[in-house]
Amino acid sequence: MITTPLANAVLEAAESRRSIRRYSNAPVTESELAQLVETAGRAPSAFNLQPWRWVAVRDPELKSQLQAAAYGQPQVGAAPVVLVLYTDTLDALMNVEETFARTLPAEKAAGTKAHLLSTIGAQSEADREAWGAGQSYIALGYLLLVAEGMGLGTSPMLGFDPEQVKSVLGLPSYARVPALVAVGHPAEEGFASTRHAVGRVLSLR
Ligand SMILES: Cc1cc2nc3c(=O)[nH]c(=O)nc-3n(C[C@H](O)[C@H](O)[C@H](O)COP(=O)(O)O)c2cc1C
For the domain that residue 138 is a member of, what is the CATH number? 3.40.109.10
Return the pLDDT at 130.
98
H or E stretch including 50?
none
Residue 116 lies in a domain: yes
Q: Is residue 13 part of a domain?
A: no
pLDDT at 3: 84
- When mean pLDDT is compared across 64-68, 78-82, 102-106, the lowest value belongs to 102-106
Q: How many domains does the chain have?
A: 1
Closest C-alpha to ligand 1, atom 25 = 19
Residues 16 and 192: their CA atoms lie apart, in Å, by 10
Q: Can you give the pTM of this predicted structure?
A: 0.96
Res 102: pLDDT: 85
Note whether residue 18 is domain-resident.
no
Domain-embedded: residue 75? yes
CA atoms within 13 A on the CB side of 125: 7
CA dist 151 and 4 (Å) reads: 21
Residue 80 placed within a domain: yes
Q: Which residue has the higher pLDDT, 72 or 7?
A: 72
Atom of ligand 1 nearest to the CA of 20: 26
Range of the domain at 41: 25-181
Write out the DSSP string of 73-111: -HHHHHSSEEEEEEE-HHHHHHTGGGTGGGTS-HHHHHH
Quick one: which atom of ligand 1 is closest to the CA of 157? 5
How many angstroms does the Cα of residue 156 sit away from the middle of ligand 1?
6
19 domain residue, yes or no: no
| pLDDT number for residue 7 | 87
Residue 9 lies in a domain: no
In a domain, 40, yes or no: yes
Average predicted confidence (pLDDT) for the chain: 96
Question: In the prediction, which pLDDT does 15 show?
Answer: 94
**Spatial contact of 188 and 21, defined as CB atoms under 8 Å apart:** yes
Alpha-carbon gap, residue 171 to 85, rounded angstroms: 11
